[in-house]
Structure 1
Amino acid sequence: MSDQDSSTSASQTEGEVEGERDEEMDGEMKGGDEEGEKHRDSPVPSLSSFSTSLSAVMRIKQKYRAMKKRRQDMALGLAADGPLTGAPPRSSPKIFTFDGLTPSSFSSSVPQWNKNKKRKRKRVLYPNRGGCRAPPKQERSRAKYCLILLCAIVFIQVYNAIENLDDHVLKYDLDGLEKTLRREVFGQQGAVEGLLSHLKDYLSTYVHNKPLVVSLHGPSGVGKSHLGRLLAGHFRSVVGETLVLQYYVLHHCPQEADALRCARDLATLISQMVERAEEEEKIPLFIFDEVEHMHGEILDALLQLVASKQSNEYLNAIYLFLSNLGHTHITKHMLQNSSSISMASASSGRHSHLVKELTPILRRTLEKLHPLWTEADVLPLGLLEKGHVMECFLDEMTREGFYPDHTNIERLAGEIEYYPEAGGHQYSQTGCKQVVAKVNLL
């Protein structure tokens, strides 16, 4: 069969199929019209008419399915024989699946403009609200405020503590005491500075772990007793007469046989004064002059009071010992080292240098005499020069009402015995001890 014949037969077949479908559709439409007329003619539909219509619809549906199947079989047969000449090619619909796709093929299938768009993607911009976008606020921890409050509380407590210390020191008027000592004690600037330093440190607070014990040592006439009288008078004015004790061994206990009784009486007196001071919240002062004549029993009793840590009431007290113990070491040291001492420019520097060098020497000597000095701060008093003796004469003559004639003062100071000149200094052998007696002879 030629191609022309096949095309002719195919067109005839299609024509016949179309003709049969049209006839069937016309017949069905006619039947439907006739049935519609019957329904219109019949006044009331019956069950038989409804079943007839349903059977007609079922027949139409079955015929339509048969025609559709027949048409699909014919199309498949034509496609198997080859496409007809002049007929458009037919293709069955394709179903899309992801089978056979790889990441490389998928990436290659993505358009290039889409890639560039992704690369050139701009970052997200926030809408303008009165200018630039405000940075996010960081939440502050509440612990920071607690720390600031704690620091403020600590600062207030420390400030109040310092104010209380200042108030406690002001109660004893140490500034006034310093002015008095510098004005009336001559040639002992180093010892005065050391004593004032100990008093300021101790009196700055009321609670202590040990009493303040200071021992002043020096040759005769250098101002030990005078310094003790000035301290006693100042403390009587600030803490009261009953809280200051000046104990002279040769006056209160001259006999060695009464040493044990004197020791008991002294311990009782000190206990009473300390208890009274505790009630008044004050610190008492005990001055012991001429300690070189003090008996061993009294020294033992004082050692128990000074070193006692069983009760807090004995810890708030000031003990001042005045003696000439170790005066030979002081005299020898100053005469042999007067040249090195004179190298210091200021007077206070010379005396501070003297105190620094003599303190360890005196401590070793005193600790061998009695263990009481192991608990004491030792301060040496140096020899007085001729200029210091002249100052003593000027002060005494002014007190007695004499005219302070410089010629007369120099003449009186020349009558005092001096050590041989050493390093350009003339040291007095008796200090200012004979000044009062010579002024009284005027």
Structure 2
Amino acid sequence: MKEKASLVLHFILITGVIVQAFEPISTTILTGAGMAALGKKLYNYLVETCNEHWVGFNKTGLEADLQSKLFGQHVASRVILKAVTGFMNTENPKKPLVLSLHGWTGTGKNFVSQIIAKNIYQRGMISGFVHLFTATAHFPHEAEMDLYKSQLQQWIKGNVSACPRSMFIFDEMDKMNPGLIDSIKPYLDYYETLNGVSYRKAIFIFLSNAGGENIVQVALDFWKGGRDREEIELKHLEKALSLSVFNNKNSGFWHTSLIDKNLVDFFVPFLPLEYKHVVQCGRAEMISKGLKPNEEAVEQMARDMNYFPQDERVFSMKGCKVISSRLDFYI
């Protein structure tokens, strides 16, 4: 794409002529400034840059994706829609948006990150303004922690300087050294600028399995009490979740100042999925593969998965994590 833009821009600067499809060639001689302006517009259209063409917010798309593609997560859907919409519609936010997503594997945390990115950035997760870090890949050696902290600070500063609407996603927080995230605390705070850079329009998303047991326990208590799953609200989970993460030495948030100073805007719980949600995931996966949903195959796959409690088989142990690979066996 960059090579294509470079060639077109080179042609414009040499000839001074813009040819538009289905229109006659203009005989107007452009000035140097005019050619430069047109060249810049064309470059910004072809090559991802930090402007409204490439970075914007699609609330309708976000709401539709959360409703139709994220299954069994009514609490997370509501919180994320309100949090992201409120933040993106605020011209001058007082701090970056900081979301911490918690729940067992396969409940949709990574998927939600992709949905958010898709509805802000034209190129979604492959945008140059979306940055994904995983503990095991990017910060594997505890002995190198001081180096990682310095590199992470410079990386965030450099990317936010290039585009204030940058997004940073930290996966595997439960495998991350607890001191690492504290190193970026200043960038998540209420400062107007730090060394001339404002971080207030950036988005930080943390993904973690930590706290999953607390979420599962609440879901189990509601089920045992004969209460409907949809009755579960954020207030039933958020306080216990933040405390358990703060006091868990394996959470990446252990005794972190991010929690102590209330810099995490929302701790978002992802509930364990039930059989019906696994079936929904299976149908969606077949559609994404360009196939007509095969109800018999999808239901058989869902039945063969592991659930708990063992006798009642209420909640899926792996959620939708392995559906893509497993479904091929049943089709």
Asked if these proteins are the same fold (TM beyond 0.5), I'd say: yes
Partner of 2:37: none
Offset, 1:201: 1.3
Aligned residue runs from structure 1 range 284-299, under 5 A: 284-299=166-181
Partner of 2:49: none
Distance 1:364 1:212 in 2: 20
Partner of 2:326: 438
Offset, 1:181: 2.2
Partner of 1:343: 227
1:357 partner amino acid: H
2:163 partner amino acid: A
Offset, 1:335: 1.2
Partner of 1:207: 92
Distance verdict in 2 for CA 1:226–1:212, change over 3 Å:
same
Partner of 1:98: none
Partner of 1:358: 237
Aligned residue runs from structure 1 range 46-85, under 5 A: none
Distance verdict in 2 for CA 1:208–1:334, change over 3 Å:
same
Are 1:308 and 1:314, in contact at CA under 8 Å, matched by a contact in 2?
Answer: no
Are 1:286 and 1:320, in contact at CA under 8 Å, matched by a contact in 2?
Answer: yes
Distance 1:356 1:385 in 2: 22
Are 1:291 and 1:321, in contact at CA under 8 Å, matched by a contact in 2?
Answer: yes
Q: Does residue 1:309 correspond to 2:191, yes or no? A: yes
Name structure 2 gaps, 5 residues minimum: 1-51, 248-253
Please state whether the residue corresponding to 1:214 is helix, strand or coil. Answer: strand
Distance verdict in 2 for CA 1:438–1:371, change over 3 Å:
same
Partner of 1:320: 205
Distance 2:234 2:136 in 1: 29
Distance 1:308 1:263 in 2: 21
Partner of 1:267: 153
Task: Give the alignment partner of residue 220 of structure 1, picking from 102, 105, 121.
Answer: 105
Offset, 1:274: 1.3
Offset, 1:246: 1.5
Are 1:383 and 1:428, in contact at CA under 8 Å, matched by a contact in 2?
Answer: yes
Superposed CA deviations along residues 29-64 of structure 1, whole A, max 9, x for unmatched, are xxxxxxxxxxxxxxxxxxxxxxxxxxxxxxxxxxxx
Offset, 1:339: 4.2
Name structure 1 gaps, 5 residues minimum: 1-166
Partner of 1:427: 315
Task: Give the alignment partner of residue 194 of structure 1, picking from 79, 85, 92.
Answer: 79
Partner of 1:277: 163
Partner of 2:11: none
Offset, 1:171: 3.7
Tell me which protein shows more helix as a share of its residues: 1
Are 1:172 and 1:238, in contact at CA under 8 Å, matched by a contact in 2?
Answer: no
Partner of 1:97: none
Offset, 1:326: 0.6
Offset, 1:277: 2.1
Partner of 1:255: 141
Partner of 1:242: 128
Task: Give the alignment partner of residue 233 of structure 1, picking from 89, 93, 118.
Answer: 118
Are 1:394 and 1:409, in contact at CA under 8 Å, matched by a contact in 2?
Answer: yes
Offset, 1:308: 5.7
Q: Cα RMSD over matched residues?
A: 2.5
Comparing 396-405 with 175-184, greater Cα deviation is found at 396-405
Are 1:247 and 1:288, in contact at CA under 8 Å, matched by a contact in 2?
Answer: yes
Distance 1:329 1:248 in 2: 23
Q: Does residue 1:391 correspond to 2:280, yes or no? A: yes
Aligned residue runs from structure 1 range 180-191, under 5 A: 180-191=65-76
Partner of 1:35: none
Number of aligned residue pairs: 263
Partner of 1:6: none
Identity across aligned pairs (percent)? 26
Offset, 1:307: 2.3
Distance 1:275 1:365 in 2: 35
Offset, 1:310: 5.8
Are 2:278 and 2:302, in contact at CA under 8 Å, matched by a contact in 1?
Answer: yes
Distance 1:175 1:402 in 2: 26
Q: Which has the larger radius of gyration?
A: 1
Superposed CA deviations along residues 45-85 of structure 1, whole A, max 9, x for unmatched, are xxxxxxxxxxxxxxxxxxxxxxxxxxxxxxxxxxxxxxxxx
Are 2:149 and 2:180, in contact at CA under 8 Å, matched by a contact in 1?
Answer: yes
Are 2:129 and 2:159, in contact at CA under 8 Å, matched by a contact in 1?
Answer: yes
Offset, 1:257: 2.2
Are 1:292 and 1:324, in contact at CA under 8 Å, matched by a contact in 2?
Answer: yes
Please state whether the residue corresponding to 1:329 is helix, strand or coil. Answer: helix
Offset, 1:354: 3.6
Distance 1:276 1:384 in 2: 40
Offset, 1:330: 1.1
Q: Provide TM-score, normalisation by structure 1.
A: 0.55
